[in-house]
Structure 1
Amino acid sequence: MKKLLLSFVFLLAVVVLAACGGSDEEAGGESGDNGDGESSSDSGSKLEELQESGTVTVGFANEEPYGYQGDDGELKGAAVDIAKAVFAELGVDEMDAQLQDFGQLIPGLNAGQYDLVTAGMAITPDRCENAIFAEPEMVYGEGLVVQAGNPLGIESYEDIANNPDIRVSVMSGATEVGYLEEMGVSDGQVTTAPDIPATFSAVQADRADVTTATEMTLRLAMETSDESQIEFVENFEQPDIEGVPSYGAPAFHPDNTELRDAYNEALQGLKEDGTVAELLEANGFDPESNFVAAGEVTAESVCSGENY
């Protein structure tokens, strides 16, 4: 009887040890560690997931000519066209476009609403703390739109700072908010709006004296605006501050490094074969002055402040 009991105890111990060993292996597999410290649920499998589904989800803001919704409901713009071309190279042909206020794009990205943001978004050190950027696809400067006749003689951010009565409307979350602050414009002079049409409306309705955004954004918006009420400031003086000119690029979730790297690899090929320059030109950009050649300026150098 004792021998039988001992045999049973020994057999039970073997079973328990085997079960424990199996649990460790399964836990290791579920943790996704592929042996080099990276999770298999990281962006390497994310690209495979997108390739399998054939669709990438993209966040964008209504800002022509970077990323915007056309009259036909389709997502358009230079940043959009470049992203479509890159993902086609990666075997992902469909794009699920999600319209969002500019200031909510990175929060939405980090909440898992999008696979990336493609809005010609300027790379900044602050944004680099919350997202990872692909290499720059375009470079651009700033501009001003004022009431017709420019009654207050506004030709620079400095002019705005020197006259505390000037009212400015700016798209929420845009880099121009920080630029104005850095040039000495007080918070009380600035109000924000959800998109560019809303900033134009503020100037037209005399709720603001001036709006600012990138030059290309304002020039294109002027084409569909009542020029009897507002005008583009042709002799605008670009601010001599960090961040100008700006380098635009897609933003990815910080966990999706492999997806971002795959994007960069395909992007480089499209830069070198002339596709990116052609897509910029097709959307109204200068294929030379707005183009960033492969390796000329990197996202890392802008994030670090070297080229910011």
Structure 2
Amino acid sequence: MKKLLLTLVFLLTVVVLAACGGSDEEAGGESGDSGDNADAEESESSSEAGGKLAELQESGTVTVGFANEEPYGYQGDDGELKGAAVDIAKAVFEELGVENMDSQLQDYSQLIPGLNAGQYDVITSGMAITPDRCENAIFAEPEMVYGEGLVVQAGNPLGIESYEDIANNPDIRVSVMSGATEVGYLETTGVSDDQVTTAPDIPATFSAVQSDRADVTTATEMTLRLAMETSDESQLEFVENFEQPDIEGVPSWGAPAFHPDNEDLRDAYNEALQGLKEDGTVEELLEANGFDPESNSVAAGEVTAESVCSGENY
């Protein structure tokens, strides 16, 4: 009887130990799998949390779309990307640990579509913030403020001194850079669509006036003044007594724009930009590109992108 009891106890002990051993092995396997899955999920989450800025910092390069409009963003004779907006963006991204800029020239009207198609990380050509543009891109805080200007045929034979003058004479022909805010300004002032033709860049609008395919071209004042420095003044004339239009959007607040999904990058840009405004770097870069640091710069917090997008400061 005792032997039978001892045998039963022994067998029960073996079964219990075997069961415990099996549970430990299975638990260990499950625990290991859970740990691997957790690590993978955590890694994926960290990658997502890093966002676009982390991606650019890792690669060391930011892809920038720009239009050929001096002095904001343009391609120099050496093929390099230049201009006030470009220099400011470069300084900001260096602050963020992104040293290299891969610059890509594009027609102005294709900058935002290209941004949203993923061709660029940022677009910067002193682009004016407008409520319409804010529906398709997110803007950094304004870096500069500027007004409008006119260039006409030498001698200003039609006496054009304002957008209203153009609207009041249906025979006046205007050449404007495609995608520029001036297209909307002219329309708002009453200029008819059949008076306006578009061109890919400022040299092309100047060429239209010189060849008598247009009577006048309009763009920002700084753009036209600088373009006049390398133009034939026997054929063209900058309108010094131009009357700034009293319409929404003038003056314009210029800033770079980002894809709507890249708020982290835009927010980091704003933070670095504020520091460069406060230490005077932005004013220095504007002045180096021909701007007046007093009249063309925007102090930190003076005007926000949100207030312009909402129409409050537009």
Q: What's the TM-score, normalizing by structure 2? A: 0.86
- Partner of 1:114, secondary structure, is coil
The whole-number CA distance in structure 1 between the counterparts of 2:17 and 2:195 is: 71
- Partner of 2:47, secondary structure, is coil
1:194-213 alignment, distance < 5 Å: 194-213=200-219
Q: Could you say if the C-alpha distance between residues 50 and 156 of structure 1 is closer, same or farther in structure 2, counting changes exceeding 3 Å?
A: same
Aligned to 2:25: 25
CA radius of gyration, larger in: 2
Q: Could you say if the C-alpha distance between residues 154 and 113 of structure 1 is closer, same or farther in structure 2, counting changes exceeding 3 Å?
A: same
The whole-number CA distance in structure 2 between the counterparts of 1:68 and 1:295 is: 28
Q: Could you say if the C-alpha distance between residues 45 and 203 of structure 1 is closer, same or farther in structure 2, counting changes exceeding 3 Å?
A: same
Q: Could you say if the C-alpha distance between residues 209 and 300 of structure 1 is closer, same or farther in structure 2, counting changes exceeding 3 Å?
A: same
Deviations 1:88-137 (A, max 9, x none): 00000100000000000000000000000011000000000000000000
Whose helix proportion is higher, 1 or 2? Answer: 2
Deviations 1:26-53 (A, max 9, x none): 9999999999999877684211111111
The whole-number CA distance in structure 2 between the counterparts of 1:240 and 1:219 is: 21
The whole-number CA distance in structure 2 between the counterparts of 1:37 and 1:160 is: 61
Deviations 1:122-157 (A, max 9, x none): 000000000000000000000000000000000000
The whole-number CA distance in structure 2 between the counterparts of 1:66 and 1:283 is: 8
Q: Could you say if the C-alpha distance between residues 294 and 228 of structure 1 is closer, same or farther in structure 2, counting changes exceeding 3 Å?
A: same
Deviations 1:218-273 (A, max 9, x none): 00000000000000000000000000000000000000001000000000000000
The whole-number CA distance in structure 1 between the counterparts of 2:114 and 2:3 is: 66
Query: Which stretch of structure 1 is more off in the superposition, 224-233 or 14-23?
Result: 14-23
For the 8 Å contact 1:31–1:39, the answer to whether it is kept is: no
The whole-number CA distance in structure 2 between the counterparts of 1:185 and 1:3 is: 113
Q: Could you say if the C-alpha distance between residues 113 and 146 of structure 1 is closer, same or farther in structure 2, counting changes exceeding 3 Å?
A: same
The whole-number CA distance in structure 1 between the counterparts of 2:25 and 2:181 is: 48
What is the percentage of aligned positions where both structures have the same residue? 91
Q: What's the TM-score, normalizing by structure 1? A: 0.87
Deviations 1:200-230 (A, max 9, x none): 0000000000000000000000000000000
Q: Could you say if the C-alpha distance between residues 17 and 190 of structure 1 is closer, same or farther in structure 2, counting changes exceeding 3 Å?
A: farther
Q: Could you say if the C-alpha distance between residues 260 and 44 of structure 1 is closer, same or farther in structure 2, counting changes exceeding 3 Å?
A: farther
Q: Could you say if the C-alpha distance between residues 41 and 298 of structure 1 is closer, same or farther in structure 2, counting changes exceeding 3 Å?
A: farther
Query: Which stretch of structure 1 is more off in the superposition, 212-221 or 15-24?
Result: 15-24
Report how many aligned residue pairs link the two structures: 308
The whole-number CA distance in structure 2 between the counterparts of 1:16 and 1:209 is: 99
Q: Could you say if the C-alpha distance between residues 251 and 26 of structure 1 is closer, same or farther in structure 2, counting changes exceeding 3 Å?
A: farther
The whole-number CA distance in structure 2 between the counterparts of 1:170 and 1:151 is: 19
Q: Could you say if the C-alpha distance between residues 160 and 260 of structure 1 is closer, same or farther in structure 2, counting changes exceeding 3 Å?
A: same
The whole-number CA distance in structure 2 between the counterparts of 1:46 and 1:210 is: 43
For the 8 Å contact 2:51–2:262, the answer to whether it is kept is: no
The whole-number CA distance in structure 2 between the counterparts of 1:5 and 1:178 is: 100
- Partner of 2:218, secondary structure, is strand
Q: Could you say if the C-alpha distance between residues 245 and 30 of structure 1 is closer, same or farther in structure 2, counting changes exceeding 3 Å?
A: farther
Q: Could you say if the C-alpha distance between residues 174 and 22 of structure 1 is closer, same or farther in structure 2, counting changes exceeding 3 Å?
A: farther
The whole-number CA distance in structure 2 between the counterparts of 1:155 and 1:8 is: 112
The one of 44, 50, 57 equivalent to 2:50 is 44
For the 8 Å contact 1:170–1:191, the answer to whether it is kept is: yes
Q: Could you say if the C-alpha distance between residues 29 and 79 of structure 1 is closer, same or farther in structure 2, counting changes exceeding 3 Å?
A: farther
Deviations 1:271-307 (A, max 9, x none): 0000000000000000010000000000000000000
The one of 69, 73, 91 equivalent to 1:67 is 73
Q: Could you say if the C-alpha distance between residues 113 and 18 of structure 1 is closer, same or farther in structure 2, counting changes exceeding 3 Å?
A: farther
Q: Could you say if the C-alpha distance between residues 112 and 150 of structure 1 is closer, same or farther in structure 2, counting changes exceeding 3 Å?
A: same
Q: Could you say if the C-alpha distance between residues 57 and 233 of structure 1 is closer, same or farther in structure 2, counting changes exceeding 3 Å?
A: same
The whole-number CA distance in structure 1 between the counterparts of 2:281 and 2:112 is: 27
The whole-number CA distance in structure 1 between the counterparts of 2:13 and 2:209 is: 80
Q: Could you say if the C-alpha distance between residues 238 and 24 of structure 1 is closer, same or farther in structure 2, counting changes exceeding 3 Å?
A: farther
Q: Could you say if the C-alpha distance between residues 182 and 90 of structure 1 is closer, same or farther in structure 2, counting changes exceeding 3 Å?
A: same
Q: Could you say if the C-alpha distance between residues 34 and 199 of structure 1 is closer, same or farther in structure 2, counting changes exceeding 3 Å?
A: farther
Please report the RMSD computed on the Cα atoms of aligned residues, expressed in angstroms.
7.3
For the 8 Å contact 2:145–2:296, the answer to whether it is kept is: yes
Q: Could you say if the C-alpha distance between residues 32 and 183 of structure 1 is closer, same or farther in structure 2, counting changes exceeding 3 Å?
A: farther
